């Protein structure tokens, strides 16, 4: 008996599996959750707080990402702590953002809009920054929460979460130059922080890359 018309072929089965990943990425909220997880493991409560979603909603999205093996979790007491499944997922996301930037003209426009809101904010290139870091003429600030810094950061950067920024600046002599980064090219925190640093009389630059983009070869 021939089942070829009713049963999917091996090739069809294969593409159906590939499509599972595609389907799990078809939500802007799931992409936001995954982007947050590139900065380190997080609890459902923390993800809910940072995305502005309800805990129930975040849990539903995480279940879809778990089913396609893009995220995993471990138990810490009564808490489930979620993280990306492995570094390959990280690399895939970086390539996805690059592809989107390359193909969708709206994305660079959104970035431009972001920078236009903050006139006079200079971005420093990775090459220039590395040169100054080697020469020890600039301090690099990681503005993310401490746990994200501990999960991974740009080598040589120091942890100064946003809420500690003003107190930290008071400890510095005025001639010091600073560069700051947060969660990548579209993170408004970086630009806001650089503006605040400049208002205090320092020379400051925004770093376009987040940790993942910086370390991605």
- Give the list of residues 6+ apart from residue 174 with CB closer than 8 angstroms, or none: 201, 202
Is residue 83 within 8 A of residue 40, CB to CB? The reply is yes
Catalytic residue (one of 64, 182, 207, 211): 182
Is residue 31 within 8 A of residue 25, CB to CB? The reply is yes
Rounded-to-integer distance, Cα 89 and Cα 103, Å: 21
Q: Given strand 158-159, what is the order of strands in its sheet?
A: 122-124, 203-207, 177-181, 139-142, 158-159
Active site annotation includes 187? no
Is residue 34 within 8 A of residue 50, CB to CB? The reply is no
Active site residues: 182
């Amino acid at each position: 008996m021939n089942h070829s018309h009713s049963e999917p072929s091996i090739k069809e089965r294969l593409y159906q599996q590939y499509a599972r990943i595609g389907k799990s990425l078809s939500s802007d909220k799931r992409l936001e959750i995954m982007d947050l997880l590139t900065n380190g493991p997080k609890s459902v409560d923390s993800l809910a707080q940072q995305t502005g979603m309800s805990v129930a909603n975040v849990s539903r999205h995480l279940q879809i990402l778990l089913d396609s093996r893009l995220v995993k979790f471990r138990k810490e007491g009564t808490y489930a702590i979620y993280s990306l499944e492995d570094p390959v997922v990280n690399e895939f996301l970086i390539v996805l953002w690059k592809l989107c930037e390359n193909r969708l003209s709206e994305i660079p426009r959104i970035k431009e809009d972001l920078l236009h809101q903050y006139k006079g904010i200079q971005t420093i290139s990775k090459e220039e920054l590395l040169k100054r870091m080697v020469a020890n003429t600039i301090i690099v600030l990681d503005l993310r929460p401490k746990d994200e810094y501990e999960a991974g950061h740009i080598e040589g950067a120091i942890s100064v979460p946003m809420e500690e920024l003003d107190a930290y600046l008071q400890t510095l002599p005025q001639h010091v130059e600073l560069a700051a980064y947060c969660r990548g090219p579209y993170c408004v925190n970086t630009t806001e922080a650089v503006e605040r640093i400049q208002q205090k009389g320092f020379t400051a630059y925004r770093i376009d890359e987040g940790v993942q983009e910086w370390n991605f070869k």
